[in-house]
Amino acid sequence: QSPRVLFSTQPPPLSRDGQDVEFLDSTDSLNRNIRTKRATHPVHNRGEYSVCDSVSVWVANKTTATDIKGKEVTVMVDVNLNNNAYKQYFFETKCRDPKPVSSGCRGIDARHWNSYCTTTHTFV
């Protein structure tokens, strides 16, 4: 059994590790089916912080994605297994705001650099 693939007749749990997540339908990212409180990114030791606060969501009805080689691939909304249709859900984590602080991303010296946050990898 893969930690990334699970066949189930039920939608994914709200959290596998206690993190608060949301459910989104990729056809309309503002159409939220189930919404829970979003937690801020945890504070790390030694003064290390994430460049942005992240939000994690379960996305349904996705039709395309990027594979680990960077190639765009078509994904099936439903997977048929033993004559049963299972809906695919994708767990995505991204920056909540592309410019989390007025100068761009946290941890960047704004006196010398301009910055912004963007998603660079989305894997299936």
Does 69 score more than 60 pLDDT?
yes
Rounded to whole angstroms, the Cα distance separating 74 from 109 reads: 40
> How do residues 30-62 score in pLDDT, each as one tens digit?
444 444 444 454 544 555 667 777 888 888 888
**Residue 4 pLDDT class (50, 70, 90 cuts):** low
Is 54 in contact with 92 (CB distance < 8 Å)? no
Domain ranges, ordered by start, for the chain? 1-124
Is 117 exposed, middle or buried (CB count within 10 Å of its CB: 0-12, 13-18, 19+)? buried
The CATH label, of 2.10.90, 3.40.50, 1.10.10, 3.30.1330, for the domain at 1-124 is 2.10.90
Per-residue buried b or exposed e for 29-48, using 16+ beta carbons within 10 Å of the residue's own CB: eeeeeeeeeeeebeeeeeee
pTM beyond cutoff 0.85: no
Encoded tokens for 25: 């339908």
